[in-house]
């Protein structure tokens, strides 16, 4: 049946959305495209989707991995709900082929940016949540990230990402990690971007709080520590 659908309608069908879903169109619209064409971007949907994904993953960890304590559960969640992991989920869904991005981002090969793909995944999850409800969205998120959660929970680490990174950096002679924070947007709806430096290694993370942004930056740096 889906072979007869247009590519975007086939994607909507795969996501459980209506073939003419306006929400999906918005979810796939990057701010660079919105600015050029004076339409709505996916930024607000990304904000909502971030919360839905976070809760769905936490629910899966608590339900299926009762052996993990609170600290290990928090670490497992941070290993899954981060830019790199969500970008891979977006790639598995084939979202890049449908994203609407501005000309400048196209020239910069922006579709290869993990941050852009991760934001799109969260925006799509928000579209699913608004159109189909939380239970459907939760099931979709958990099915999309089940393997990532299983991997993250197999070898639990009771240390939070920032502590783990600091101990590793100091033991390898890099000194303590250095964090830089930047806030974007109005104070009541700010998004924080953190950048951490460890030797020659730099990694970034975003979040609705300073702690969340720094934690994600530390987790991303940990994954790339072999390049430091």
- The pLDDT of residue 111 is 63
Structure tokens at 26: 């918005």
pLDDT tens digits, residue range 136-151? 999 999 999 999 999 8
- In 125-221, the DSSP E strands lie at 178-184, 191-198, 201-207
Structure tokens at 165: 């990174």
- Whether the pLDDT of residue 133 is over 60: the answer is yes
> Which residue in 46, 50, 119, 216 is the catalytic one?
50
> Which residue in 54, 122, 214, 216 is the catalytic one?
122
Give pTM, 2 decimals: 0.70
Question: Alpha-carbon distance 189 to 208, whole Å?
Answer: 8
Domains detected in the chain:
2-154 (1.10.1520.10), 161-227 (3.30.160.20)
Q: Which residues, at least 6 apart from 24, have a Cβ–Cβ distance to it below 8 Å?
A: 8, 11, 12, 15, 17, 124, 127
At 201, the pLDDT band (50, 70, 90 cuts) reads very high
Structure tokens at 115: 């941050």
Question: Alpha-carbon distance 5 to 10, whole Å?
Answer: 5
- The pLDDT of residue 186 is 78
- Whether the pLDDT of residue 177 is over 70: the answer is yes
Determine whether 226 is an active site residue. Answer: no
Q: Which residues pair with 179 in a beta bridge?
A: 196
Determine whether 160 is an active site residue. Answer: no
Query: What is the arithmetic mean of pLDDT over 105-125?
Result: 82
């Amino acid at each position: 049946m889906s072979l007869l659908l247009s590519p975007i309608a086939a994607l909507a069908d795969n996501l459980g959305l209506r073939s003419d879903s306006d929400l999906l169109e918005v979810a796939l619209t990057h701010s660079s495209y919105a600015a050029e064409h004076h339409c709505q971007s996916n930024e607000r949907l990304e904000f909502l989707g971030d919360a839905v994904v976070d809760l769905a993953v936490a629910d899966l960890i608590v339900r299926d991995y009762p052996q993990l304590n609170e600290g290990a559960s928090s670490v497992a969640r941070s290993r899954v709900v981060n830019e790199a992991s969500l970008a891979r989920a977006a790639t598995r869904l084939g979202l890049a082929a449908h994203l609407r991005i501005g000309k400048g981002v196209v020239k910069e090969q922006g579709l290869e940016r993990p941050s852009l793909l991760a934001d799109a995944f969260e925006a799509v999850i928000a579209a699913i949540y608004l159109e189909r409800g939380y239970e459907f969205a939760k099931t979709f998120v958990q099915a999309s990230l089940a393997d990532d959660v299983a991997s993250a929970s197999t070898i639990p680490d009771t240390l939070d990402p920032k502590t783990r990174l600091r101990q590793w950096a100091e033991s390898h002679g890099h000194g303590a990690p250095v964090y830089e924070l930047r806030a974007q947007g109005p104070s009541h709806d700010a998004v924080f971007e953190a950048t951490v430096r460890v030797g020659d290694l730099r990694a970034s993370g975003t979040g609705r709080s300073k702690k969340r942004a720094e934690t994600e930056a530390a987790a991303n740096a940990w994954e790339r520590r072999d390049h430091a």
